Structures are given as C-alpha cells and as structure tokens.
C-alpha cells in the first residue's frame, strides 16, 4: 500500500514538472502590450476604444481604457506583427505597429488621440 502511495506521489510530481515546462515554453512565445491613452492635452482618457489587429490573421481585439486611461492586451504571439490604434470622440491616435523584430515580452505603447478621425464619404449618384 505504501509503495502505491509513493508511486502516485512521484507521478504527480513528474506530471507537475512536465506541465510547468510546457507552460514556460508557451509563455516564452507570448507577449503583452499595454499603455495609456491620452488626449491632445496629455490627459488620460477613460473609455477610449483601443483596437489591436493581428496583421497576419486580421483578427481584431478591442479594449476600453480603464481608470487613468490604461489598457492591456495579453497572450499575444511574439512572432506576429500587430497594429494598434485608440479612438475617442472622433479623434484617433493613428495606427502604430508592433513588430516581430521588437523582442520585448512587455511592450509599452502609449497612444495619443490628437488626429481627427477620417470618415469615408458616400459617393453621390
């Protein structure tokens, strides 16, 4: 009976160690992008819409800036390019690019909404 308990305990330890190794491998391929959204007078904006686009898959993620204008996106692939943009009250930061050549695990990208958002005007018949 005791030997079965010892074997079970060792199996649990080995399983935990293997899971931890896998988690570290996966974690090594991921990054976080975070920052603060500011208006044209450098005041943080609460409630700005921050959009992040994976350039390869065209998948979009959105985040609404929180207290102090802060936003964050986690579990992003480190080997993909991203475009990020903040919008608030018809103002935009314009698109900023986060490149695969930027090897930081945590990218700080502050965004300033100081450009007028452009709208496509419908063509007249």
Residue 25 has what pLDDT?
Answer: 55
Closest among 37, 90, 91, 92 to 64, alpha carbons compared: 37
Q: Mean pLDDT score of the chain, rounded to an integer?
A: 83
Place of tokens 């060792």: 10
Q: What is the pLDDT of residue 4?
A: 55
DSSP letter for 55, please: T
pLDDT confidence band for 117 (50 / 70 / 90): confident
> What is the DSSP secondary-structure string of 97-117?
EE-TT---SEEE--EEE-EEP
CATH number of 29-116: 2.60.40.10
This prediction has a pTM of: 0.73
Q: How many Cβ atoms from other residues are within 10 Å of residue 85's Cβ?
A: 17
Domain residue ranges in the chain: 29-116
pLDDT digits (tens, 9 = 90+) for 39-89: 999 999 999 999 999 999 999 999 999 999 999 999 999 999 999 999 999
Mean pLDDT confidence for 10-39: 68
């Amino acid at each position: 009976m005791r030997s079965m308990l010892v074997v079970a305990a060792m199996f649990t330890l080995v399983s935990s160690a293997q899971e931890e190794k896998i988690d570290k491998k996966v974690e090594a391929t991921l990054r976080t992008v975070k920052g603060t959204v500011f208006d044209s007078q450098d005041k943080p904006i609460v409630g700005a819409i921050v959009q992040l686009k994976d350039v390869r898959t065209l998948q979009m993620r959105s985040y609404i800036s929180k207290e102090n204008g802060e936003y964050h996106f986690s579990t992003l692939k480190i080997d993909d390019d991203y475009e990020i943009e903040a919008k608030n009250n018809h103002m935009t930061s314009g698109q900023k690019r986060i490149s695969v050549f930027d090897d930081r695990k945590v990218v700080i990208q502050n965004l300033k909404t100081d450009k007028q958002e452009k709208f496509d005007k419908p063509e007249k018949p």
